Structure 1
Amino acid sequence: MAAIAGSPQTSPEAFENLAVTAERNDVRLEFINGRIAVKPLPDGDHDEIVRWLMERCMRQRPDLWLYPERGLIVESHRAGRARPDGTLAPKGSFSGQGEWAGAGRVLTAVEVTSYDRDADQCDLLKKPAAYAQSGIPVYLLVDREQGEIIVHFDPLDGRYRARTYFFGDSVVIPEPVGITLDDTEILKDHVR
């Protein structure tokens, strides 16, 4: 049976059960805008970018932690489920939470593109809306294909304002994060 245009493919609860089964087989799933999407497993360069970002966050904001692959409940109208490459939040924010946690304490969602067309389009188009609807103050996208860092900020009515930086630029991540990434030239070493 085909889904009705605009209707979700499944319920959030059914998705969560499917996601658990998929992870046992090394497949990661997300549920964005009512649709199930496969999240590609990261390559080594992808991991190095997340590690690089984690180091910078820890140096400038030791009160925060960049949680890798943290499951978040996003989107108010579709009850989506996302697993950002990094979730910047105060330490202890997810204590006592299950696999999928609310986004209320999240300051930044981080995604690094993966050279998978569908996943990259989701990172570029669908996730900004999902994260903004969830009230996450900043969405940071490292686009390896374009050699850019896009800082989405100031969410209002399910949309962000955005500023694009090239690898090599000094990148300002606005409050409530308040971090500056000065040495982004190194990211050029982690692209194809």
Structure 2
Amino acid sequence: MAEKRSDDMTLAPERPATQAPETAGLIDIAELVFQNFPGHRAEILGGQLTVTPPADGPHGESLTAIMAPLMACGLHRDETRIIQAIGIWLPTGDDDYAVPDLAVVDADYRDHHAQYNCYDPAVFRLVLEITSSNRSDDLLKKPGAYAHAGVPVYVIGDRRAREVVVLTDPRGDEYRSRSLYRPGETFKLPASVGAVVELEVDAVLGPER
């Protein structure tokens, strides 16, 4: 039960706080975020730690709407798996990693564990982000990071701009192909994902806020 001080300010229930070691690195701090801030997502991009609070309900609805046709096309069977919030180890820095909202990975991804509950980018066929409070990372930082890691397809559902961006053909730290789709339209994912999948932009973006 929460305690009250004499000034009637309500305090959260006490729980032991994990302390960072004196020589803590970014990974150590990310672990502290995981332990002390449930639901928050810590990522390290370009040597910088970013922490994202829990997304809203419509964000989760969009992910469910996307997973349905992916599963219907057999992408969660023999050769591939569809996984939400799976860590991808990035080659852009010593401790860099990201946690995309959704990914299609090779079925043997468990054999390619890298570090810190993250997996080798070679097993990722697609990563997808639905924008929330970390929109600038999804639009500006992650395209270069995912391209550098060689992820073949990066899909961004930009809820604020009401558009879906599909990035393919990674070369160096950029994607050479960029396709833009707006509400009312449909788009197909590249067959390299593991199946020909058609998605509706409205389903990816969810209702306008």
Please state which band the TM-score falls in when normalised by the shorter chain.
0.7 to 0.9
CA deviations 1:111-170 (Å, max 9, x no partner) are: 0001x2xx1011001100000000000001011111111001000121102111012211
The residue that corresponds to 2:164 in the other structure is 149
Q: What is the Cα deviation at residue 34 of structure 1?
A: 1.4
1:183 Cα offset (Å): 3.2
**Residue by residue, what CA displacement relative to the aligned partner does 1:100-119 show, whole Å, maximum 9, x if unpaired?**
221111001110001x2xx1
Deviations, residues 8-62 of structure 1 (Å, cap 9, x unaligned): xxxxx82222222111222321111111111231211101111111111111133
- Partner amino acid for 2:103? T
2: CA distance, partners of 1:68 / 1:122: 18
Structure-1-length-normalised TM-score? 0.83
Secondary structure of 1:151 counterpart: strand
Q: 1:120 aligns with which of 129, 132, 135?
A: 135
1:49 pairs with one of 54, 62, 85: 62
Distance of 1:170 and 1:93 partners within structure 2: 30
1:189, distance to aligned residue in structure 2 (A): 4.0
Unaligned runs of 5+ in 2: 1-23
Letter in 2 for 1:22: V
Check the 8 A contact 2:70/2:197 in 1, yes or no: no
Whole-angstrom CA distance in 1 between matches of 2:208 and 2:147: 27
Q: Name the structure 2 match of 1:100.
A: 118
How many matched pairs? 177
Give 3-state SS (helix, strand or coil) of 2:122's partner: coil
Supply the AA of the counterpart residue of 2:56: D
Unaligned ranges ≥5, structure 1? 1-12
The Cα RMSD (Å) is 2.0
Amino acid at match of 1:52: A
Tell me if structure 1 keeps the 8 A contact 2:112–2:123: no
SS in 1 for 2:191: coil
Decide which moves more: 87-96 or 143-152: 87-96
Cα pair distance change 1:78/1:159, threshold 3 Å = farther
On the 8 A contact 1:54/1:66 being kept in 2, the answer is yes
Contact 1:89 1:106 in 2 (8 A): yes
The counterpart of 1:18, out of the listed 15, 21, 29, is 29
Q: CA deviation at 1:96?
A: 7.2
Q: 1:73 aligns with which of 76, 89, 100?
A: 89
Cα distance in 2 for residues equivalent to 1:82 and 1:32? 7
Deviation, 1:91, is 2.6
Where in structure 1 do 4 or more consecutive aligned residues deviate above 6 Å? none
Aligned match of 2:43: 30
Closer, same or farther: CA 68–31 of 1 in aligned 2, 3 Å? same
